[in-house]
Structure 1
Amino acid sequence: MSTEIGEVLLENAPKKSQYIDPEIQKEILHIMANRVRQMVCEEIRDKCFCILVDEAQDISKREQMTIILRFVNNHEILTEIFFSIKNVSDTTSLNLKKERSNVHVHHNLQVKKIRGQGYNGASNMRDAWNGLRALFLRDCPYAYYIHCFAHRLQLTLVYAAKDVSVIWELFSHLDNIVTSSTKSIAELHDAQRNEIKNLLASGERDSGTEAN
C-alpha cells in the first residue's frame, strides 16, 4: 500500500472504514475486475477478436481455465488482455466448451466474431475432430486454430534440456514434487511448517501477520 493511501485509510479513517479485512478487499477486487471486463467488452463490441485458453491446476489441485482476449483496440493497437479464470469440474473438451460458452453469453461476446483460437498441444485442445478447437469451428468456421507459441517454446526448452543432465534431473525432481499424490503434498507442507518453526525458534526468521 502506498504511503498516501496508508495515511488516509489507516491513520485518519475511522477504524470500521479502513477496508483492510480480507473479505472486503476481495469484494473490492471483484468489483474492479468486473468493471475492467465491462470496459473490455464495450471496446470489443462488434469487432472480431481472438481467444487464448489454457487449463491448469491451482495450488489446491483444482482444475482451472484461463481466458485471454486478443483484439485491436480503439486506437488501432493490438491488445492482449487477461479476461477471466474459471474453476472447471474436468478438462474434457465438451466441458471446457460449455464453461467458455457461458463466459461468452454472460459478457455478450459473439462466437461468430472469433477469428483465432490459441491453445496448447494437448489432445483435448487441438484434436481435429473432438478437441476444443473443432467444437468451436463448428459454430464459427473462421475461428482458426494456432498452437500457442509459448507452449511451442516450452516444448523446445524441454527438448533442449534433455541434453543437459543436471538441468534435466532438477526439473524431473520438481515435476515429481508438483505432480505428487495428495498425501505426498501434505507431507511436504508438514516439512515446511516444521522448518519454519525451527527458524522462528532459532531467531533466523521473524514472525508477524502473513509473514510465513
Structure 2
Amino acid sequence: MNAPGNNQMIAPKIQTQLVNACAVETTNVILADLGDRWFTLLLDEAHDFHVATTTAACLKEAIDSLFAKYGLSVVRLRGQGYDGASNMSGEFNGLKSLIMKENSYALYVHCFVHQLQLVVVAIAQANQYVIDIILHEMDSRFSETTTDLLIYMSCLDLKNSFSRFDVQKLVRLAHFYEDDFSWNECMLVEQELETYIDDLRSDERFEGISDLGALEKKMIETMKNHMFPLVYRMIELALLLPVATATIERVFLTMNIVKTYLRNRIGDEWMNESLIIYIEKDVFNTVDNELILQHFQNMEFRSMQLSRIRL
C-alpha cells in the first residue's frame, strides 16, 4: 500500500465488517460459556425488525433457523416467555404449543407483569365487588401450571431463614421436570433437601443472601453445588423460568440509542450486531482484540495487513 496514512477504516463497508467481527466474536464467547446447559427463549415484537409475517409458523421457522445458526438444540430449552397474543400463546397453534410439541419441558410463562397489568385494568373498569373480581381475574390470567411453578419455586427463597422452604413442594417441582430428574433422583431428592436446608441454616457464609442468583454463585464458591447437586439443579431451573420479559423491554430501549435519526435506515443485520455489542458490552470487553482483527482480516483480501494492537 503506497499511502498507509489514507487507511482510515471509515468506509461504510469497512465499518459494517468491523461491527460484524466484534458481534461474532462476542457471540462465540457467550455460546462457549453456555455450552450444553439449559437456556430460556424470550420473544417480543419490535417495529424496527422485520419478518415475513408474525404467524406462529413463520416465527417458529425463524427460531429454528436461529437455533441452527448458533448450534442450539430445542431439547435444552427449559422456558418460553412471550406476551399473551394468540399467535404466541395459543393452546393449539400458538408458538408456545409448536415448541412444546418438540419439547414438553420448555414451559411457557406469560410475563407476570403483563398479566398483573391486565388484572388491574379489568378491576378498574369493573369498579365493584373488588375481591371477587381480583380472584376471578387472577384465576383466568394465571394458568394452573404457571401458578404451581411459581409457588414451588418460591420455596427456594432465602428470606427469613428459608421460612418458605417446603420439602414436599420442592419434590413436586422435581416431578415437573421428569426429563431432568431420573426416577432414582426423584426418590433421593427429599432426603437431599432436608440435609441441604439444615446445612445452609447453620452456615454463616449464606447469611445476607437475598436472591436465587446470589445463592447459586455462593453455592459454587463453597462447592455446595457438588454436595447438593439435585438442589442446585432445581435452582438452575428456577432461574431459567422467564417470569418477566423485562430483558426484552431493555433491548427495545437500547434500540433508541443504536438506531438514531441519523441512522434510521440501518438494516436488520447491522442493527442486530450493533445491539449485541452494546447490550453485551461486559462480554465484549473480555474478547481478545487479536481475535477480532483476525476475523476482520479473513473476511476478504486486504491490501494491507492490520498490525497487532499494543496496549
Identical residues among aligned pairs (%): 38
Between structures 1 and 2, the one with greater helix share = 2
Q: CA deviation at 1:153?
A: 6.7
Corresponding residue of 1:169:
none
Letter of the 2:58 counterpart: N
Corresponding residue of 1:109:
72
Q: CA deviation at 1:32?
A: 1.1
Corresponding residue of 1:24:
14
Computing the radius of gyration from Cα coordinates, the structure with the larger value is: 2
Q: CA deviation at 1:44?
A: 1.2
Letter of the 1:37 counterpart: T
**Uncovered stretches (5+) of structure 1, i.e. residues with no partner:** 1-12, 59-63, 65-86, 163-212
- Which of these residues, 81, 86, 98, is aligned with residue 135 of structure 1? 98
Q: Does 1:100 align with 2:63?
A: yes
Corresponding residue of 1:36:
26
After superposition, where does 1:9-158 map in structure 2 within 5 Å?
Answer: 14-15=5-6, 17-58=7-48, 64=49, 87-149=50-112, 151-152=114-115
Q: CA deviation at 1:148?
A: 2.4
Cα distance in 2 for partners of 1:117, 1:110 equals: 14
Q: TM-score, normalised by structure 1?
A: 0.51
Q: CA deviation at 1:158?
A: 7.4
Q: Please list the CA deviations of residues 126-170 of structure 1 after superposition, one character each: whole Å capped at 9, or x if unmatched.
A: 1111110000000111000011245447657977999xxxxxxxx
Corresponding residue of 1:74:
none
Letter of the 1:38 counterpart: N
Q: Please list the CA deviations of residues 90-132 of structure 1 after superposition, one character each: whole Å capped at 9, or x if unmatched.
A: 1100000001001101111110000000111111111111110
Give the length in aligned residue pairs. 122
Cα distance in 1 for partners of 2:114, 2:5 equals: 50
- Alpha-carbon distance change, 18 to 155 in structure 1, aligned in 2, over 3 angstroms: farther
Q: Please list the CA deviations of residues 32-81 of structure 1 after superposition, one character each: whole Å capped at 9, or x if unmatched.
A: 111122111111111011110112222xxxxx3xxxxxxxxxxxxxxxxx
Letter of the 1:43 counterpart: D
Cα distance in 2 for partners of 1:137, 1:156 equals: 27
**Please, what is the CA RMSD of the aligned residues?**
2.6
- Alpha-carbon distance change, 35 to 152 in structure 1, aligned in 2, over 3 angstroms: farther
Q: TM-score, normalised by structure 2?
A: 0.36
